[in-house]
């Protein structure tokens, strides 16, 4: 009986080897970009896709990694937590060596648990909620962007300094990202000695924010800080203008997309937001930026951050001389990376030591970093 069981096991193993191509080692290394390819935040998924594809193209043209070309897979989580977990499981099943993703913190956090259990390296280009690394699922989880306690701190201090005698409202969309950013901004605002006069929560995905706008009007709100994404922000701005409000809207890095201006048009003039120092202006990124623009792609927002996530992983793999997760993690922890977003190292939480956030202003369809002084609202 034991001999028969052994024969069956041997036959099964032989069939598996045959199905996998005779056990021959692949001449490519699979990696993945995962983000919202579809849904209302798809513009950010496109940013990530653009950055990842260019990074893989450049790496492969230079000979690949450890003599193997990279094979890029694109996963769509639609910024939905359940779909993010499903995609994470799919990627672990595919055996990818790196996931550069996700975008939404509400997706990255649950997906990171899957990657941690599977010993798969995850480097998020864009998930800013502190819990992503404060409650880190495993030592193989990283990000190359800043945190909401950092950008919320900048936003809160900026509001307190520039709108000390104005009425401020703080609104969030109930998401991990939006509420987290609003909470951090409120904390910094209050610590600077300024109190908001109104706090509200909205539901992401709605189209009609007239009830919120009416409350803002009744409270004579001069500045609205929104913890949320560009789609809701754009609609709120338009509806404020429709009701005659000159209220300034300020948000976070989720407004760093041309699609925001496409929603608002001229109504978005003067919108403020926080974002990391613009990597497009980094001299080290000049050649890559030019290649993007030659292809008709504006490397805005998180395009270069996704490129940098792949760059950092490549440099770690080359230092480790291995794509095995444990070896790569050790190199990720011990290396200073030279990337299109600048030089940085990861700290013990998996966060990068990049420069602090700055404040930007939308004007005439583009955004630019501004100084410490803000334009005052009319009235």
- Please choose, from the candidates 214, 213, 141, 148, the residue with its C-alpha nearest in 3D space to the C-alpha of residue 176: 148
Q: What is the pLDDT of residue 26?
A: 78
Report d(CA 324, CA 44) in Å as an integer: 29
Copy the structure tokens of residue 62: 């230079």
Q: Is the pLDDT of residue 18 over 50?
A: no
Report d(CA 303, CA 50) in Å as an integer: 6
Report d(CA 219, CA 240) in Å as an integer: 13
pLDDT, the chain, mean: 92
Question: What is the mean predicted confidence (pLDDT) over 33-48?
Answer: 96
Copy the structure tokens of residue 50: 């653009």
Q: Is the pLDDT of residue 16 over 50?
A: no
| Domain 28-146+280-344 listed as CATH 3.10.20.600 | no
Question: What is the mean predicted confidence (pLDDT) over 118-128?
Answer: 97
Q: Is the pLDDT of residue 277 over 50?
A: yes
- Listed by start position, the domains of the chain span 28-146+280-344, 149-275+358-369
pLDDT, tens digit (0-9, with 9 covering 90-100), for 77-105: 999 999 999 999 999 999 999 999 999 99
Q: What is the pLDDT of residue 250?
A: 98
Same fold, 28-146+280-344 and 149-275+358-369: yes
Q: 149-275+358-369 has which fold?
A: Rossmann fold (3.40.50)
Question: What is the mean predicted confidence (pLDDT) over 17-38?
Answer: 74
- H or E element: which one contains 100? strand 98-101
- Please choose, from the candidates 255, 235, 224, 266, the residue with its C-alpha nearest in 3D space to the C-alpha of residue 357: 255
The dihedral built from the CA positions of residue 182, 184, 189 and 193, taken in this order, carries a sign that is: positive
Copy the structure tokens of residue 329: 């993690």
**230 touches 250 (CB < 8 A):** no
Cis peptide before 89 (omega within 30 of 0): no
**72 touches 99 (CB < 8 A):** no
Copy the structure tokens of residue 109: 């956090």
pLDDT, tens digit (0-9, with 9 covering 90-100), for 231-274: 999 999 999 999 999 999 999 999 999 999 999 999 999 999 99
**36 touches 44 (CB < 8 A):** yes
Report d(CA 141, CA 351) in Å as an integer: 9
Percent of the chain with pLDDT over 90: 90
Q: What is the pLDDT of residue 373?
A: 53
Report d(CA 209, CA 271) in Å as an integer: 18
Q: Is the pLDDT of residue 13 over 80?
A: no
- Please choose, from the candidates 251, 269, 264, the residue with its C-alpha nearest in 3D space to the C-alpha of residue 159: 251
Q: What is the pLDDT of residue 281?
A: 93
Q: What is the pLDDT of residue 344?
A: 97
pLDDT, tens digit (0-9, with 9 covering 90-100), for 148-177: 999 999 999 999 999 999 999 999 999 999
What count of other Cβ atoms lies within 10 Å of the Cβ of residue 163?
20
pLDDT, tens digit (0-9, with 9 covering 90-100), for 290-336: 999 999 999 999 999 999 999 999 999 999 999 999 999 999 999 99
């Amino acid at each position: 009986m034991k001999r028969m069981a052994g024969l069956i096991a041997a036959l099964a193993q032989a069939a598996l080897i045959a199905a996998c191509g005779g056990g021959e080692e692949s001449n490519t290394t699979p990696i993945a970009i995962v983000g919202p390819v579809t849904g209302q935040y798809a513009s950010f998924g496109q940013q990530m896709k653009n950055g990842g594809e260019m990074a893989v193209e450049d790496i492969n043209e230079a000979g690949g990694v450890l003599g193997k070309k990279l094979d890029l897979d694109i996963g769509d989580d639609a910024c939905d937590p359940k779909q993010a977990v499903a995609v994470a499981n799919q990627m672990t099943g595919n055996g990818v060596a790196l996931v550069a993703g996700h975008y939404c913190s509400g997706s990255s956090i649950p997906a990171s648990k899957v990657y941690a259990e599977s010993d798969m390296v995850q480097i998020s280009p864009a998930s800013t909620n502190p819990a992503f690394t404060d409650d880190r699922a495993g030592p193989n989880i990283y990000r190359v962007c800043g945190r909401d306690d950092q950008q919320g701190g900048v936003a809160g201090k900026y509001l307190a300094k520039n709108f000390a005698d104005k009425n401020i409202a703080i609104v969030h969309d109930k998401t991990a990202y939006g509420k987290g950013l609003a909470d951090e901004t409120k904390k910094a605002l209050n610590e600077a000695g300024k109190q908001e006069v109104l706090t509200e929560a909205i539901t992401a995905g709605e189209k009609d924010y007239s009830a919120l706008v009416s409350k803002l009007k009744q409270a004579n709100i001069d500045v609205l800080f929104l913890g949320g994404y560009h789609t809701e922000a754009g609609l709120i701005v338009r509806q404020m203008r429709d009701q005659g409000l000159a209220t300034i809207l300020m948000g976070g890095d989720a407004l760093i997309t041309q699609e925001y201006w496409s929603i608002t048009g001229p109504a978005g003039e003067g919108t403020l937001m926080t974002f990391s120092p613009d990597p497009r202006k980094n001299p080290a990124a000049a050649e890559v930026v030019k290649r993007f623009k030659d292809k008709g792609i504006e490397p805005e927002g998180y395009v270069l951050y996704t490129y940098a996530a792949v760059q950092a992983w490549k440099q770690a793999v080359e230092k480790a001389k291995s794509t095995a997760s444990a070896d790569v993690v050790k190199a990720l922890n011990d290396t200073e990376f030279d990337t299109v977003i600048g030089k940085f190292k990861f700290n013990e939480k998996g966060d990068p030591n990049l420069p602090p956030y700055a404040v930007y202003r939308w004007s005439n369809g583009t955004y630019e970093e501004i100084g410490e002084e803000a334009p005052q609202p009319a009235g």
